[in-house]
Amino acid sequence: MNAPTFAFNTLDQRANALIANSYYEASVTRPLADDPALDTAIDADVCVIGAGFAGLSVALECRARGLSVVVLDAHRPGWGASGRNGGQTLVGFAKDEIIERQLGLEGARAAWAMSIEGVALVRERIERYRIQCDFTPGYLTVATRPKRVPDLRAWMESASQRWGYDRLSWLDTDAIRSRVASGRYLAGVYDPFSGHLHPLKYCLGLADAARREGVQLFANSPVIEVVRGGRPVVQTPDGEVRCRFVVVCGNATIGNVLPAPVAARIAPIASYIVATQPLGAARANALITRREAICDNNFFLDYFRLSADHRLLFGGRASSTGASPAQLAQAIRERMVGVFPQLADVKIDYAWGGFVDVTRNRAPDFGLIDPNYFYVQGFSGHGVALTGIAGRVVAKAIAGQTAAFDLFAQLRHARFPGGPALRRPALELGMMYHRLLELF
């Protein structure tokens, strides 16, 4: 069910179009818009921009520390990547080797410990707030190409021996093929603690919990400017929030709210997902016998999982330049049938997409614009669990415990070349280069 919504910049407009046929939106049976728009001036300790996983986590964690919190969203909770993603709830980072290279071994161990806490936090919140979002434990990282098998093995060994995560186990070709009915996979790593969930239901559950805890949520309230200072003022078209702290969690469609050098540290990469018709329990279980979430270790990766109603949800990147929604769905469907030829007869019921906020080095980007003005961005396709921990880390920093925030803020980020208009074409060129490399 779609709430009435509007677009306030071009990317936002494109993102809006990409959820018109979302399985997640269709499988949430409650009304999606029940928060008012901000139409007056109010005061709060903390003003959070964006009601996705990150913003809602900041809000919950700040409330837990006794602060008054306002959350403003240009649309509604879960409208962004948090309500459209693959649902894979994972430990670690998009590029773990960068984390170790930049933070050193001790720093990488500390960051990994927080990423594990991130998955634990998702699982805890589902329990504590009784969120019905179909969490299913189990995750497989798989290799499709011989030269990526040693990479996968090396990653597993680093995670176990260097970064302090000893729950992983190795699956050779026979073992992986007994669990995933595809001839494509050569090896896999099993993680019993990571898993998958229905992200929109989880996000709406977090929003309910935030309201119950006394957070004031406003929908259809795009922030147009943050007036910086000792007591910042966050302005929307019809209202403003005067606060002590601002936290920006607006992701790829934020527009020009952030200072340009900070905005240039991320670029939006479109990713698309299709949902098949319901396959029935037997056919679904035959595809992925233990119903784990699965992702390969290619640069242009495929990610997929079964839904609670026995559909295959299959996602990946398809070139978007000029492609219609039907062509995008067809491109992802072809990738799905490449993995599972036995699904050639299956109908696609839903197809949707969103923008992943990637940094150049794929490490998350947490920073300060002023001592009372925070931002978190750049989860690089690895945000379901990490956004939760980002919220905790920021709330602790606001409360004066800055160690965890400082660790992430040490990560160095380069800017994408060009202004907002050039950032995507430049990135597309870089991606084409990687696509070529993957052909060999």
Ligand X SMILES: Cc1cc2nc3c(=O)[nH]c(=O)nc-3n(C[C@H](O)[C@H](O)[C@H](O)COP(=O)(O)OP(=O)(O)OC[C@H]3O[C@@H](n4cnc5c(N)ncnc54)[C@H](O)[C@@H]3O)c2cc1C
> What does the binding site for ligand X look like in residue numbers (CB under 6 A)?
49-55, 72-75, 79-82, 84-88, 90, 222-223, 249-251, 253-255, 257, 271, 273, 303, 315, 353-356, 379, 381-384, 387
Identity of the residue, 382 or 392, whose beta carbon is nearer to ligand X in the bound complex: 382
Identity of the residue, 108 or 328, whose beta carbon is nearer to ligand X in the bound complex: 328
- CB atoms near residue 280 (< 10 Å): 11
**Shortest CB 77 distance to ligand X, Å:** 7
Q: Distance between CA atoms of 427 and 228, rounded to whole angstroms?
A: 31
Residues sharing a CB contact under 8 Å with residue 87, sequence separation 6 or more, in sequence order = 196, 197, 198, 199, 293, 305, 313, 384
Identity of the residue, 55 or 188, whose beta carbon is nearer to ligand X in the bound complex: 55
**Shortest CB 245 distance to ligand X, Å:** 16
Residues sharing a CB contact under 8 Å with residue 270, sequence separation 6 or more, in sequence order = 18, 317, 320, 353, 354, 355, 356
Residue nearest to ligand X (CB): 383
Identity of the residue, 5 or 173, whose beta carbon is nearer to ligand X in the bound complex: 5
Token pair of 83 as six digits: 């309500």
Chain-centroid distance of CA 321 in Å reads: 22
Identity of the residue, 52 or 106, whose beta carbon is nearer to ligand X in the bound complex: 52
**Shortest CB 125 distance to ligand X, Å:** 14
C-alpha count within 13 angstroms, C-beta hemisphere, residue 290: 15
Report CA dihedral (156, 96, 257, 1) to the nearest 10 degrees: -10
**Shortest CB 53 distance to ligand X, Å:** 4
Identity of the residue, 279 or 294, whose beta carbon is nearer to ligand X in the bound complex: 294
**Shortest CB 128 distance to ligand X, Å:** 19
Report CA dihedral (154, 151, 143, 304) to the nearest 10 degrees: 80
**Shortest CB 381 distance to ligand X, Å:** 5
